[in-house]
Structure 1
Amino acid sequence: MMNMMALRTAVRALWLHRLRSLLTMTGIAVGIAAVILMVAIGTATQEKVIAQIQNLGANLIMVVPGQRIGPGGVRLSGDANVLLTEDDGQAIRAEIPSVREVGAMWWGSGQSINGNRNSWSRMHGISAGYLDVRGWPVIAGRTLTAEDDATVAKVALLGQTVLERLFEPGENPVGRVIRLRNVPFQVVGVLERKGQSAQGTDQDDVVYVPLTTARMRLNNKPAPKVQAVSAITGKKRFDGTGTSGFQKVEQLKANPSVIFAGAVNALMIQARDTAGLKATTGEVRELLRQRHKLMPDEPDDFDIRNLSEVAEARAASARMLTVLLIGIAALSLLIAGIGIMNIMLVSVTERTAEIGLRLAVGAGRRDILSQFLIEAAALALVSGLLGVLLGFGGVLAVDALTEIGPAFEPLTALGAFAGAGAIGVVFGLYPAWQASRLDPIVALRRA
């Protein structure tokens, strides 16, 4: 009964000073809405990063040609001086126990045509193990095999974007013949949709063909030149046949288009587990230096990128951003709580006569304490409800206006609402205690 009376008194007091109460509630409501919105945005961002990591593949190491030193100390482009081979990948898989699988790739692009429809897309040659390394399943037809590579088969896998450009919706492409760079290829499979990469590239805008087929049928530029020169011996590390002998600089100058067999633009290496990824990276580096016959003081002629570490770093950054945003929102709640304390102290000062009169007619100090606590809690809870509604609206607005895709979290909203009530009690406790400690005679004298 007493609690109901205290509640009615608290509501009446808030209504009498409704403008002041509204301003105080606005601060708390904005803080609650900020918490809900920031958690939703942070969670959505982390989920996007996790999805990108899963799209990339698990425990991945990527090896690409690096900048090498040419005659006169000039650094040469990695794209123009490919010194990675399929044999490098096979050696890595055979000699490093912590490596599960290795996929090789030859980069390219061009126009694919089906009747009167066409698409300019990436056309990559891949080894049989590449899609397994990437964790990229084929949803229709079959995947590329080692036999396709050995026989230089003119077969292709289509990404979802290329499929949509070349074929009508619902049309089955498997078994159909399309032209890649005016060369006829049979479509043997369709890849599952991957979406965008971490760099914003459409991963589905791609055609995959066997590695040897890409080099022999789709290579739209001269084969990579052998231009890496030993700074000590002045000799080449590869000759035109792909063997590991040496070739003098003078011979290269006489025949600048010399190539070596089995060249690839990238090796994708999948380690068996994440824990030993760093050690595996070191083993790969040492093996490649040995195979490429690099002297101790010569720099690597390749670059190794630990893709899993990069992805995890991005995930950690996303988590840190989420914590930062929630911290800022929590700070706004703290400021709103201080506002409640300030308003309640002003209320105690203004209602000194009322407090003195109630104490004089027999109200206990506990009754005064509970009255002001209920008043502060009611102010905070109403603010919390408004904040939840405001946060829900903010999530819908961000979802409609951006591609972040935040989702309203009921548990977060419930926690924020309960937190608002706790803020009201905590920050209203001191003013309520001050009110309960007033001396009735002194309070009535101040009236």
Structure 2
Amino acid sequence: MKNSLIKLTLFLCIYCVSALPVVAGQLLLTHGTLLDPSDQSITKQHLLLDETGIIARLDSIPANFTGQQLDINGKFVIPGLIDMHTHAFGNRGPNAQSEIMGPGTTAQVVLHAGVTGFVDLFGNEDQLFEHRRLQQQGLIAGADIYTSLSCLTAPGGHCSQFGKTRTIKSEDEARQQIAELAAKQADVIKLVSTIGGSLPSLSPALLKTSVDEAKKRGIKTIVHIHTLADIDSAIAAGADAITHLPDDAAITAELAQRLAAHKVVVIPTLACDTDEYEFMFSDVLQSALAKQLADPRIIQGYQKAASDMTPEQKQQAKQRTEKYYLSMKHLVAADVLLLSGTDAGNYGTLQGFTVHREMEKFVASGLTTWQALASATSDARLFLGKPAGLQAGAEASLVILDSSPIEDIRNSQKISAVIHQGKVIH
């Protein structure tokens, strides 16, 4: 606990000291290389911005410019990263080694990983609503909070084992719950389908009613899936996205083609399902960014778990990983739109850091580095209805890197500075 408090204090101090004074000024990034995933362009230009967004790209520095200048010669600029599936209570580690932060503190911590926004897909509804409200009013800082506020699940279904959630057992309840979440301005609606699982599931009929009601209100839906049958149900319901990969079998080439034909987005949370093993048996947690973001207790917990794992458990973990990568192979071949989401807050993840791991695993699955970068930047923003890219009018939330992630996606971890809403944070 003491280490956790020291770590939190350090993050808060870094945030306060590094931020520019709150003034109605402009910031000019000079001599940098702009990497825009929205059109896969590489441009050597100056970038003018303020807290309202990107103002312009410039070929020369205006002679009368009196605002703040930041020379980033030799560095690379990308849009800020967005985690499309997280649970911002903190980090969970094995052997009871967990770090509880809450959405407000998590929002500040992940900025240091270049994550300038995240979508929380279930937590304490009142807490999420209040932190988002305070942030939107400019009363608290941190990465932009988007949220479903709650899950919509069957009574006793998935999510209910973790705390208070909303449940649906009739079409009237579905309409009422969607109306209440819409009134609270939920950014997305999360629905739970676990057909054939150990917990109760929303029926295909209730799932469709819920999706239809959300569409009437202009809110996108993300369906938590567990099996191949859940994917069929989500497609039939007209869901905008599914999250996770099925546990019962790999997604087939035919099913991947159906997802693409119905324009269903997939947020696979691949790292969450495959990185717990790598956290224990590789040097992933020894990276500079992981060490910066993780409480030492978390890393120690994985080291202890590795020593306790039997050969049989290791083999099971490897087989499970192979199944998920087969699903990814078929999704990539079918050109299904993939978005980076981490399911952080679960084992095998770290808030902020795992966004980089997800992009790395996307490339290992067959995406280009441009596509992987877009999955956490421009494509994520478009899904949320936000302006994307590095053009005038886009958000002034950026990451400045020492090396190009187009050459090697792992370079996304080589962070020189983070800019959030026009202010230098780190």
Question: Could you tell me the TM-score, scaled by structure 1's length?
Answer: 0.22
Q: Which has the higher helix share?
A: 1
State the TM-score, normalizing by the size of structure 2.
0.23
**Max radius of gyration: which structure?**
1
Higher relative contact order (CA 8 A, sep 6+): 1
